[in-house]
Structure 1
């Protein structure tokens, strides 16, 4: 369990990343490349990337075990929008921090020979590996990645501005529970993170799956990286498995409404038109789904916009391997 301890000052200093982070996406994608879970979303990407990843890109995986500790310096805390900025941030990492991270990794993992050069301050070989991996494995999909992450950021920012930090934290992720002043997150190890007025940066990640993640070093600027919903990618494949069960649970019309709102935010009129039902019927069903926590509604001008909540998405997706 990861426990993130907030003060009042920390709640006012929660921020969302401005966009997808290429370094976090690179790191997390390396897990998707080698772990079997998530085939409905990542299976085709995994197969195609394995086929084209160059030797330098594969060498990067020697510094990133498929499970367990990964060096914090591979995901610099600086805000980066491009892979070149990420590589520059890597190069700016203090040599002492790099050596400490590599020493931690070496406790349970055999380091490649070229890691000695990185430890001695020569990050060129690492920069080459990072760039080659990114260009083949991630760059071809970057437009889609930023679109999916951007949609999540838009929703989270609106929740933060309209409903406040407590609502944002309580609806962040199915694996996270907000019990003020502590955010409890399912985590592979027992860890406490005391923010002490530093605030918290929230980073949605396309290649994150299952439990959120963070740095091991508590001295680094606090971050929490969490998975986006992936309904757009998963829905068609998972609906066949979960559709009957969801329909039996909440009824055919409400199940159709929930699936529709998982794909797109709609106002009541457009929702009714899409499903070919009366606006009053759409409004009534939306009210029930909202009271159950399966959708979220907000006013936009004279309209009320609806969207599936994290809980609603989880219901639609059903049990997912982690």
Structure 2
């Protein structure tokens, strides 16, 4: 069990990341490679990524370099997920390269004691070997993470929209209380399942919540409690596979989109909207709004998720692309 202890200052400083963290997503996806738990939620990703890894000759690097450093266990080195990655992959890998030798040795030592580290791992203190690691991280990201960026970002946008409504309705405590079945808020402590029994005292630093597409099961945080606190938590996945981003299938579902009303529903959902809000904005009944949203959902343009007493509708990557393609052109200067 992990217990995260909040003060009033921490509640005021709690926030949600606006984009996927590329290095945390790399590590979480490496965990997906090592487990069949939740495989149904990542079936398309798993098949496509394995094929790309084999086709590019990346499998050996995956097995001998990346997986040994990120075991699906209670610990993997914190320097692999620096906070600088919030500014993108390149900022993150540059921070990995800049990590001090003593910190690398210390964290590899923890990995060795907790789950076993490969014999070559202590040499990562040498910046030259870390260059090889960073090269592997870049290649793996290009093959396993980047092709799914639009889908991942759309899911995080939907999560942020839902959490923003929770804050507006009930403050930060409502946000913490609605993070999902793996987290339980009991003021002033957030409880979650964890591989080890720990207490994390925020002490006024606040908490950065990072929704993760590839995280499955219990949330993850840094092993070093002196680092700026983050909590990586899983998005809720649908119990059935969906089409890949941009896959229009036969095109038949899109025929249901013809008409001004559904176009207005799609525009209203661009920033996240409940069924009632769509009904009021478009000028139809709630039942009609629900039917139109259902048709858009079947066409792969909307995602609908229940949060408390309402259903929140947000755009999929395909829905967002359709709106962008139909946006009026800017006036020439």
* TM bucket normalised to smaller: 0.7 to 0.9
Among 295, 298, 301, the alignment partner of 2:308 is 295
Kept in 1: contact 2:184–2:190 (CA 8 A): yes
C-alpha displacement of 1:106: 1.1
Does 2:22 match 1:22?
Answer: yes
Kept in 2: contact 1:296–1:307 (CA 8 A): no
Does 2:61 match 1:56?
Answer: yes
Partner residue, 1:5: 5
Does 2:288 match 1:273?
Answer: yes
Runs of 5+ unmatched residues, structure 2: 244-268, 280-284, 293-305, 314-333
Partner residue, 1:105: 111
C-alpha displacement of 1:43: 1.8
Partner residue, 1:287: none
Partner residue, 1:285: none
C-alpha displacement of 1:94: 2.6
**1-structure distance, mates of 2:207, 2:93:** 23
Partner residue, 1:307: 312
1:231–1:274 Cα change, 3 Å:
farther
**1-structure distance, mates of 2:309, 2:98:** 42
Kept in 2: contact 1:56–1:133 (CA 8 A): no
**2-structure distance, mates of 1:190, 1:113:** 28
Kept in 1: contact 2:83–2:92 (CA 8 A): no
1:274–1:78 Cα change, 3 Å:
same
**2-structure distance, mates of 1:185, 1:201:** 16
**2-structure distance, mates of 1:194, 1:110:** 28
Does 2:222 match 1:215?
Answer: yes
Higher deviation after alignment, 190-199 or 130-139: 130-139
TM-score by length of 1: 0.73
Higher deviation after alignment, 36-45 or 23-32: 36-45
1:81–1:141 Cα change, 3 Å:
farther
Higher deviation after alignment, 7-16 or 155-164: 155-164
Partner residue, 1:85: 91
Runs of 5+ unmatched residues, structure 1: 237-260, 278-292, 298-305, 309-322
**2-structure distance, mates of 1:87, 1:177:** 33
TM-score by length of 2: 0.71
String of CA shifts for 1:24-59, please: whole Å, max 9, x gaps: 110000011120011221122112222322133442
**2-structure distance, mates of 1:52, 1:87:** 22
Kept in 2: contact 1:2–1:192 (CA 8 A): yes
String of CA shifts for 1:120-156, please: whole Å, max 9, x gaps: 3432011011111111111111121111112212222
3-state secondary structure, aligned to 2:86? coil
String of CA shifts for 1:195-251, please: whole Å, max 9, x gaps: 111111100000011111111111111111111122386589xxxxxxxxxxxxxxx
Higher deviation after alignment, 77-86 or 148-157: 77-86
3-state secondary structure, aligned to 1:220? coil
> Pairwise CA RMSD of aligned residues?
2.6
How many residue pairs end up in the alignment? 259
